[in-house]
């Protein structure tokens, strides 16, 4: 892996060496509207509201669909080059659709860098099988059409173990070469015409504007963010409060509270809320039937989803679960609520993280303060 000093990395992100300011990283926050009078916020985030992270820190590349090419390099059958038309021919027999919540590793308490989408694409494993997987290959190196300056990398870059693509745990969803988000072509900011989608990992592993995949015999972590972020990049159990917003004035004495919980490979299972430093009390997650009905209303073919084809229990791994409750009898004045999630294996969201900023995200317990009028 090309070494980049922590100081250089922070300067490239526009952060200096003192701390994290997400707005300078190229992330557009997603506030998951509507949050006010409506009954709840959307389960699927409209593409126009999807958060945006430019991993290369440079301009969004413009890649025409007809000009796009993907090279699979170093396979036993020699280098293979695919056009978008080639991908569409493969899609006739191999198209996959699934739900996946994309979360930025830089998500921190004061920002919300997370969105939920329906991704359509072709398993990367299909192309690797055609290219031929070398017996000595340990990692896949990914590069893209964007440009990175001053780092030693030509573009945003990342890696994955070969086995995660070619011989995954049967419980894991496939890694996709995705060309649609919520049934629409990917927008330029979200990787048009084709991006990678890795279900269980933070967004920096789901490289956008993908250009090249190369087999490597090295088993060392490799990539731009991997200089500081944990190469495993696995999403941890996490939850947040979406209503009320911090600093809001709301009518009482009964106050609606809504939010989401997200697990990675292990799904979220339960949520609890604490009011003004009191005990955490469980609140209900919206059930599978309610979520599937929302998807039908959005025009999603439920039967075509990988989650439903596999008959996975709900909540799904790698997909946020929505929760809501009403706090009754709140007195006028200032209040603080906290939310804590637990995953299906019993892991509980921590009070605080002891990991460094650029390690594996921040899934510490979130709080919101507001005023009842």
195-239 pLDDT per residue, tens: 999 999 999 999 999 999 999 999 998 988 777 778 889 999 999
Nearest partner of 195 among 79, 117, 139, 93, judged by Cα:
117
Which segment of 22-26, 158-162, 318-322, 356-360 scores lowest on mean pLDDT?
22-26
Q: How do residues 103-121 score in pLDDT, each as one tens digit? A: 988 765 555 789 999 999 9
The secondary structure of residue 352, as a DSSP letter, is S
**Cα 60 from Cα 192, distance rounded (Å):** 10
> pLDDT band at residue 357, thresholds of 50, 70 and 90?
low
pLDDT above 90 for 252: yes
> pLDDT band at residue 147, thresholds of 50, 70 and 90?
confident
CB 314, CB 254: distance < 8 Å: no
**The two three-digit tokens of residue 358, written as one number:** 């650029």
In this prediction, residues 277-282 reach a mean pLDDT of 97
Neighbours of 55 (CB within 10 A): 25
């Amino acid at each position: 892996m090309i070494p980049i000093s922590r100081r250089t990395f922070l300067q490239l992100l526009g952060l200096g060496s003192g701390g994290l300011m997400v707005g300078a990283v190229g992330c557009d926050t997603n506030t998951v509207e509507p949050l006010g009078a409506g009954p709840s916020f959307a389960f699927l985030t409209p593409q126009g509201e999807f958060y945006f992270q430019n991993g290369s820190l440079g301009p969004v590349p413009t890649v025409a669909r007809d000009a796009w090419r993907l090279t699979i390099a170093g396979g036993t059958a020699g280098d293979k080059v695919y056009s978008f038309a080639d991908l569409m021919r493969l899609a006739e027999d191999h198209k996959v659709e699934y739900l996946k919540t994309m979360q930025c590793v830089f998500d921190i308490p004061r920002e919300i860098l997370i969105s939920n989408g329906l991704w359509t694409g072709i398993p990367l494993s299909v192309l690797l099988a055609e290219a031929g997987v070398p017996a000595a290959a340990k990692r896949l190196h990914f590069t893209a059409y964007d440009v990175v300056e001053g780092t030693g990398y030509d573009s945003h870059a990342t890696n994955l173990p070969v086995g995660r693509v070619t011989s995954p745990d049967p419980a894991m969803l496939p890694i996709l070469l995705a060309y649609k988000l919520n049934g629409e072509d990917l927008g330029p900011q979200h990787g048009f015409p084709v991006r990678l989608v890795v279900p269980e990992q933070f967004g920096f592993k789901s490289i956008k504007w993908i250009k090249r995949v190369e087999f490597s015999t090295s088993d060392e972590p490799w990539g731009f963010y991997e200089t500081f972020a944990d190469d495993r990049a696995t999403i941890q159990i996490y939850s947040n409060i979406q209503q009320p917003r911090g600093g809001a004035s709301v009518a009482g004495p009964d106050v609606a509270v809504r939010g989401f919980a997200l697990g990675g490979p292990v799904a979220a299972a339960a949520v609890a809320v604490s009011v003004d430093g009191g005990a955490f009390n469980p609140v209900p997650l919206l059930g599978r039937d309610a979520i599937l009905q929302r998807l039908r209303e959005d025009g999603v073919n439920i039967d075509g989803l990988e989650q439903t084809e596999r008959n996975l229990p709900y909540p799904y791994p790698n997909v946020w679960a929505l929760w809501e409750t009403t706090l009754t009898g709140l007195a006028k004045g200032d209040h603080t609520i906290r939310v804590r999630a637990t995953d299906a294996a019993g892991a509980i969201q921590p009070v605080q993280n002891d990991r460094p900023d650029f390690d594996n995200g921040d899934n510490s317990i979130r709080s919101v303060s507001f005023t009842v009028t």
